[in-house]
Structure 1
Amino acid sequence: MENIKKKINDFSELVMFKHSVFALPFIFIAMMVASVEVNGSAWFGLKLFILGVFAAVTARNFAMGFNRYMDRDIDALNPRTKNRPNVDGRVSASQMLGFIIINALGFIVVAYFINTLAFYLSFPILFILASYSYFKRFSYLAHIILGISLGLAPIAGVVAITETITLWSVLLSIGVMFWVAGFDLLYSLQDIEVDKKLGLHSIPSVFGANKTMLISKVFHFCTVLFWLLFVITSNSGFFAYLAVVVSAVMLSYEHILINRDFNKIDKAFFTVNGYLGIVFFFLILIDTF
């Protein structure tokens, strides 16, 4: 039993399970808003709630597992990542492959039980999620690919409810894309020298810290803009507008933290962005009820 518990903890560390807080709120935001449009109620039922959770978890586990599998050589040469389970032997390559396959199949099966469009989209979604691991080896657009990967969450949410893709869900997704790409740029500041040494293509290693921080600010300005457009096109109310304002304040605070001290990157990355998603979710929840 102790060995099983330890292995579960190793896999949880491998895929950084606690970071699911970034994607989950925006899946359910889209599901709630779509449900109001279709059913007149924000509650979309227990079945879709459970399937939504499983879809989000299996998709993220697949993406992170695939990334850790592909990055074994890179992570071993980075002082910040050399103690990860995919490097130090706690999770073997064969175990990672099994984990990747199980979660990919799990995602496809869950999508099948949601609806036909979700099932058809599950295959290109998995392809996009896997492509991030390759992009950073030849293009600094990898940050955008990561943003797109998480930005698919709201579209997946609305497809689950309506089996269509709405304009407001696309705008919400673009906002998420810029949000994730923006904070990934800040997080990547920690690895400038390592990326240069290993020949990896990140925006910080190509353009330097100052330009990276400026690009991140532009991305986060776009985040607020597209989330505002989402609120307008979805005919949401006061609390949805408040969610956008609060997000703008929190993103500004994130940049203030980084500008003052690069040692606070972890705080800015996880704490501020984690709370941002949760606060945004609860304000939309209030707005839809």
Structure 2
Amino acid sequence: MKSESTLQNVLNFTKIEHTAFSLPLILTGAWMGAGNRFPSTTVMVLVVVAAVGARVFGMAMNRVFDRHIDRLNPRTAGRELPSGKMTVSMAMAIAFGGLMVYMSACWILGGWCLMLSPIPLVPLLAYSLLKRFTPLCHFGIGLCLALAPLGAYVAAAGHPGFSAAVVLFSGFVFFWLSGADIVYALMDVDNDRLNDIHSLPAWLGVSGALRVAAGIHLLAWFILAGVVRIMGGGPAAWMALATAAVFLGLMYVPAIPLPKRFFPISTIAGIAGSVAPMIA
């Protein structure tokens, strides 16, 4: 039973299954990098492995850095580190394992992937620290995920000569997730104020933060529309774009519980946005 409990703690801690949150974005970046088609199976597998490793590394370090903050929040106090279900040394070992998986995939891909591989590690390490200093912390997680399609593009293309479409698509990812994180942070507004944690909801209030998030999501949608237009999108692409708009809008329906607005609603908006360029 102890080994099963330890395994369950590791699975809950890493939440590898949430990589599905970013896989459509990565697939789109790789598809663009290969010239609007999918690259070889080997490249795709390595890109996915790198994404999983990077996410485990970022998630583990985030939980290590935030363990004392999480202990103060009733919503997060039951997490593995603040509750004592996992030691810091084990969490660091998991982070190191994720880092090794990521670096190994980049090493096998070689070339530009290996040379540029340290760049995503910087925001992955730093984003969780931003809430200690600035209410703009939500854009840190947006940056982390915005780099994913660019990395997949490099892996598929073999060079960092980014197309206008993938740069714009990365911008869509940045604003989509940053806005979603603002909505997610509404759940902790009172705790953030009590414990001097910086967030836009704590700074601007619920209504002010929602207005900012809505403006950010509107910008994300227009950027995505620009991607579809550049790629000469047909009816299917515009239907995907309309689907993304509907689910972005659902994130602001008060009757929908906040956790559901973040997942699965914001996730579906991101998936629809990822599909749009590939069916353009």
TM class by shorter chain equals over 0.9
Match in the other structure for 2:268: 275
Matched AA of 1:72: R
Q: Distance in 1 between matches of 2:215 and 2:274?
A: 23
Q: Distance in 2 between matches of 1:240 and 1:55?
A: 28
Q: Does 1:154 align with 2:153?
A: no
Displacement, 1:83? 0.4
Q: Distance in 2 between matches of 1:87 and 1:133?
A: 16
Matched AA of 1:146: I
Displacement, 1:105? 2.2
Match in the other structure for 2:21: 22
Displacement, 1:35? 2.0
Match in the other structure for 2:240: 243
Displacement, 1:58? 0.7
Contact 1:220 1:251 in 2 (8 A): yes
Q: Does 1:55 align with 2:54?
A: no
Displacement, 1:84? 0.5
Q: Distance in 1 between matches of 2:201 and 2:75?
A: 16
Matched AA of 1:137: R
Q: Distance in 1 between matches of 2:128 and 2:275?
A: 32
TM-score relative to the length of structure 2: 0.93
**Distance change (3 Å), C-alpha of 1:74 and 1:149:** same
Contact 1:22 1:273 in 2 (8 A): no
Match in the other structure for 2:6: 7
Pick from 50, 58, 65 the counterpart of residue 70 of structure 1: 65
Q: Does 1:108 align with 2:107?
A: no
**Distance change (3 Å), C-alpha of 1:29 and 1:282:** same
Contact 1:239 1:284 in 2 (8 A): no
Match in the other structure for 1:228: 225
Deviation >6 Å, runs of 4+ = none
Stretch moving more, 23-32 or 228-237: 228-237
Displacement, 1:230? 1.6
Contact 1:65 1:99 in 2 (8 A): yes
Matched AA of 1:85: E
For this pair of structures, how many residues does the alignment match? Answer: 278
Contact 1:21 1:277 in 2 (8 A): no
For structure 2, the 5+ residue unaligned runs are: none
Q: Distance in 1 between matches of 2:221 and 2:31?
A: 20
- The C-alpha deviation readout for 1:232-269, integer Å capped at 9, x for no partner, is 2334443223222210111111212xx335xx011111
TM-score relative to the length of structure 1: 0.90
Q: Distance in 2 between matches of 1:45 and 1:283?
A: 21
Match in the other structure for 2:32: 33
Contact 1:187 1:269 in 2 (8 A): yes
- The C-alpha deviation readout for 1:103-125, integer Å capped at 9, x for no partner, is 11221221122232111221121
Alignment of 1:168-183 (within 5 A): 168-183=165-180
Q: Distance in 1 between matches of 2:226 and 2:271?
A: 20
Q: Distance in 2 between matches of 1:149 and 1:119?
A: 18
- The C-alpha deviation readout for 1:190-216, integer Å capped at 9, x for no partner, is 111111111111111111100000001
Q: Does 1:120 align with 2:115?
A: yes
**Distance change (3 Å), C-alpha of 1:103 and 1:86:** same
Displacement, 1:101? 1.3
Stretch moving more, 189-198 or 161-170: 161-170
For structure 1, the 5+ residue unaligned runs are: none
Q: Does 1:214 align with 2:208?
A: no
